[in-house]
Structure 1
Amino acid sequence: MSTFPHAAIVYALASAFLFALTNHFQSLGLMGSDARTGSLINIATGAVFYWLLAPFVVESWYWFTWGTVLFAMVGIIRPSLSSLLAIQSIHVMGPTLTSALTASAPIFGALFAITLLGETLDFKTAIGIAAVIAGGVVASYSRQGLVRDWPLWAIVLPVGAAFIRASGHAVTKLGLEDVPSASFAVLVSNTVSLAIAGAAFRIEGRPISGTPKSFKWFVASGLSAAVSLHFLNSALQIGDLVSVVPVVSATPVFTMLLGLFVFRRERFSWRMLVTISLVVPGVMLVAMK
């Protein structure tokens, strides 16, 4: 248990807010570009940001530890793959539904605990999982039935991103027990992800497409995501995984509020509101286990 549980909660809330801001920045960038370009710029921005900070936050012994290996393993799938899935989901489904469905990350965390650690599935956890599933059904419903302005398979995008993030959180926490530096964890993970994303671009022969304005939004999203990951890792370092990740799931609430009061660019339907109302409490119930 953390000696400063309230600090962990504050860090997690700050991370949730910045993740929501990242979603909106990415959505604006996608108006003039594509998901792969956005993901590459996002990851590159975060990597450059932390390399600039490295002389002030990294100690030489960090590099020769098991923690560095774990951070690198996380970087293979996050943020390169998780960011690509999330950005593509924002492009197809919009930032609010994406945030709501990626809030299912603690569900996967609970499943990891049950299957790998031998924990039991209690009533609250079962109700929480059911609420998240119900949220996905509501997101697909309209007066004409299951008619959407996005394809049903698109649910795989945010849920896949949530699965990757949940596994990444668990491995990152293990690494932080060996190397207690939230910034170093982001530095290593983003650097590995950048190498993978850059190699994929080169192999596929893809051009970096977009407008200068879209690039600026992607850079902004990269900075926001980078700082958000720092707060998240700081929370994981001093708090428990089951307590931190559900608080980060407040992201869809922040996304909705930012979209309504700041960006004023997304239409909110009853489906979105009900989805958020089901998913967020459902995740919280899972965390109460």
Structure 2
Amino acid sequence: MPGRWDEMALSLLIVALIAAFFFALGIVLTPFGLRAAPPLVGASISVPSSAVFFLLLAPFTLDLGNADGGAILLFALAGVIYPAMVTLLNFAGNLRLGANLAGALGNLTPLFAVGFAVLLLGDIPHPSQLIGVLAVCAGLVIMALDRVRSHPGGALWILLLPLAAALFRGLAQPVVKLGLADWPNAFAASTVSYVVSASMLLLVRRTMVRAPVPRTRGMLWFCVIGISNGLALLFLYTALTMGPVTTVAPVVATYPLMIVVLNRAIHGDRTLSRAAFAGIAISVIGVVLVLTA
């Protein structure tokens, strides 16, 4: 039994870390797209791109014979807020704060996810698991505060953008987990959520914003960003079929650590202070606590 648990924990860890990688990649690539179009226009390209991607895969990944109406409704409900609203908030935060700060601040998601999991699922974390969640968040907050020092006080209200994204992302996870209990298909959850989100964003853009379509290069960047975010969601929901929200959310929450590495590789950002290193170390310790609880 211990050997089987170790194997399951390792599989969950790998899947959750893959989700974290694609979340980080999408955030780090976002500045390339935002050079060509504002956040709403970009989101109305990236999210539908992912929706089309999942719809093209649907004939090979969805067994509608096992579909559950209640699960579909929950996946659609999650899609109203995520990825639609979260993508908009992430793009806006990225534009004003940069990838490192937006990613670090946005990742209080585990606290929100665990809180909503307790309310909606009755998923009570083990005490050492809760300490791990708090450690992950504390490490990320240390990283965020280190970045906040470079922003003027008058702009600090902008920090609410990634915080709101964290709230909505945290809420979506237990809602989807409820649906996965009746239809454990991560492709179905991702497809329904993205179709609903894409429909909302296209409607909002059509009725509220008359911005021109960006050039081909800008559109391609948003398509790549959309596919990256879509894969992140798919692996996140796959991880949720393998374990509880209280385990999955903190591991996926490590994506700001990957943002630091990817920012260095892609944007040449070498600004990593001692505080940031301390935040990384504390977050890693937190993940270990969560997985071994």
TM-score by length of 2: 0.85
- Once superposed, what is the RMSD of the aligned Cα atoms? 2.9
Q: Among residues 158, 180, 183, which one is paired with 1:179 in the alignment? A: 183
Alignment CA distance shift 1:279-1:167 (3 Å): farther
Give the corresponding residue for 2:276: 273
Amino acid paired to 2:115 = L
- What residue is the counterpart of 2:50 in the other structure? 46
Contact 1:139 1:271 in 2 (8 A): no
Shift of 1:149: 9.1
What count of residue pairs does the alignment treat as equivalent? 284
The answer to whether 1:83 aligns with 2:87 is yes
Counterparts of residues 113-192 of structure 1 (less than 5 Å): 113=117, 117=122, 124=131, 128=135, 135-142=143-150, 147-148=151-152, 151-192=155-196
Residues 37, 166 of structure 1: alpha-carbon distance in 2 compared, 3 angstrom cutoff: same
2:37 is equivalent to residue 33 of structure 1? yes
Counterparts of residues 1-289 of structure 1 (less than 5 Å): 4-113=8-117, 117=122, 124=131, 128=135, 135-142=143-150, 147-148=151-152, 151-261=155-265, 263-266=266-269, 268-270=271-273, 273=276, 276-277=279-280, 280=283, 284=287, 287=290
1:213: how far off? 1.3
Q: CA deviation at 1:140?
A: 2.0
Measure the CA separation in 2 of the matches of 1:138 and 1:253. 14
Q: 1:286 to 1:101 in 2, by over 3 A?
A: farther
Residue 53 to residue 114, structure 1, CA distance change in 2 (3 Å): closer
Task: Report if the CA contact (8 A) 1:135-1:279 is conserved.
Answer: no
Q: 2: distance between equivalents of 1:118 and 1:21?
A: 30
The one-character-per-residue Cα deviations of 1:131-158 (angstroms, maximum 9, x if unpaired) are: 655554433225xxxx439810111111
Deviations 1:133-190 (CA, angstroms, capped at 9, x unpaired): 5554433225xxxx43981011111111111111111111111111111111110000
TM-score (norm 1): 0.86
Structure 2: 5+ residue runs without aligned partners? Answer: none
Structure 1, 21-30 or 67-76: larger mean CA deviation: 21-30
What is the rounded CA distance, in whole Å, between the counterparts of 1:134 and 1:189 in structure 2?
A: 32
What residue ranges of structure 1 are gaps of 5+ in the alignment? none
3-state SS of paired residue (1:4): helix
For 1:106 and 1:30, locate their aligned partners in 2 and report how far apart those are by CA, in whole Å: 27
Deviations 1:53-84 (A, max 9, x none): 11111122355421100000001011000010
Identity of aligned residues (%): 27
Q: Is the 8 A contact 2:25 2:262 kept in 1?
A: yes
Contact 1:92–1:150 (8 Å) recurs in 2? no
